[in-house]
């Protein structure tokens, strides 16, 4: 078995207005959970990208490392914690709301060349062979349907509990869809079939596609609210509850503690356990 994990956490973005505080702690906590608490993923098979390392190119290069050589029985984990957004889609027939869900790498500047779209993920993950246990976690705004919005932050987005949201600010608009010539070289072109097929894995997302994900302060440290309660419930129940049930418990914990976000699970493996 070749169990491999890629953990991406971005606190520091080039524009100080977009800095977050809990994303690196998210992936450190996940590493401890999978490598030390449960010893399922060997530390030498875990790669972490933080801040400046987590460019679009860096993330794609390491996702290809994650998938390369995977065989049935292997376990793969991709955990992203950082900004997320929505952008005008190039595939209107596939998106009723006309929007793609994206993540915002360190070098994201509001252009197609620096974002990672849901369709690009679909193309990459279509290469994962059947029988591989693939889990994808996204603690970012607008995370559902990937299978932090480019609007200005208002004062009311911050509160006495040191909570704000993982959406991007300082961008007046997102670049529109690619023109016909650009589409010919785009990673998603020619990949419509995998795009519309269900994910051969499980996506555990911090919120619904129209919602925001909280970057908050719990137990005297900054962390993503979703990641905190996900790991807490996995510690208790990963051996006897499937991932869909775990996400149901995380929803209850977030609601009980005053967070206005509803985590989701999707994909062909959502009814499987987190670990094989």
Which residues have a catalytic role annotated? 83, 141
pLDDT tens by residue, the chain, 276 residues: 799 999 999 999 999 989 999 999 999 999 999 999 999 999 999 999 999 999 999 999 999 999 999 999 999 999 999 998 887 766 655 556 567 788 999 999 888 889 998 889 988 999 999 999 999 999 998 675 565 332 233 334 434 456 666 666 544 445 554 444 444 444 443 444 444 578 999 999 999 888 889 999 999 999 999 999 999 999 999 999 999 999 999 999 999 999 999 999 999 999 999 999
Query: Could you give the maximum distance between any two Cα atoms of the chain, in Å?
Result: 51
Cβ atoms of 267 and 238 within 8 Å: the answer is no
Residue 28: half-sphere exposure toward Cβ, Cα within 13 Å: 11
Q: How many CB atoms lie within 10 A of CB 200?
A: 18
Structure tokens at 31: 């590493």
pTM across the whole model: 0.85
Give the Cα separation of 198 and 188 in Å (integer): 16
The DSSP string of 227-250 is HHHHHHHHHHHTTTS-HHHHHHHH
């Amino acid at each position: 078995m070749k169990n491999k994990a890629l953990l991406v956490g971005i606190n520091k973005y080039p524009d100080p207005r977009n800095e977050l505080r809990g994303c690196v702690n998210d992936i450190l906590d996940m590493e401890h959970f999978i490598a030390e608490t449960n010893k399922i993923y060997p530390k030498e098979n875990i790669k972490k990208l933080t801040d400046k390392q987590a460019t679009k190119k860096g993330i794609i290069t390491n996702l290809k490392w994650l998938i390369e050589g995977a065989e049935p029985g292997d376990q793969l984990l991709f955990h992203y914690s950082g900004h997320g957004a929505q952008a005008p889609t190039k595939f209107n027939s596939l998106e009723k709301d006309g929007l793609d869900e994206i993540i915002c790498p360190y070098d994201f500047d509001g252009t197609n060349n620096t974002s990672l779209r849901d369709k690009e993920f679909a193309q990459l993950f279509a290469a994962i062979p059947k029988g591989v246990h693939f889990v994808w976690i996204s603690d970012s705004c607008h995370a559902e349907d990937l299978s932090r919005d480019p609007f200005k932050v208002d004062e009311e987005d911050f509160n006495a509990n040191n909570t704000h949201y993982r959406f991007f600010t300082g961008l007046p608009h997102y670049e529109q869809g690619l023109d016909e010539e650009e589409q010919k070289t785009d990673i998603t072109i020619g990949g419509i079939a995998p795009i519309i097929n269900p994910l051969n894995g499980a996506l555990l997302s911090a919120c619904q596609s129209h919602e925001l994900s909280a970057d908050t302060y719990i137990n005297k440290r900054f962390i993503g609210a979703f990641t905190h309660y996900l790991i807490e419930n996995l510690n208790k129940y990963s051996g006897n509850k499937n991932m869909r049930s775990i996400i149901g418990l995380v929803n209850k914990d977030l609601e009980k503690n005053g967070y206005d976000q509803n985590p989701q699970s999707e994909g062909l493996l959502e009814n499987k356990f987190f670990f094989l």
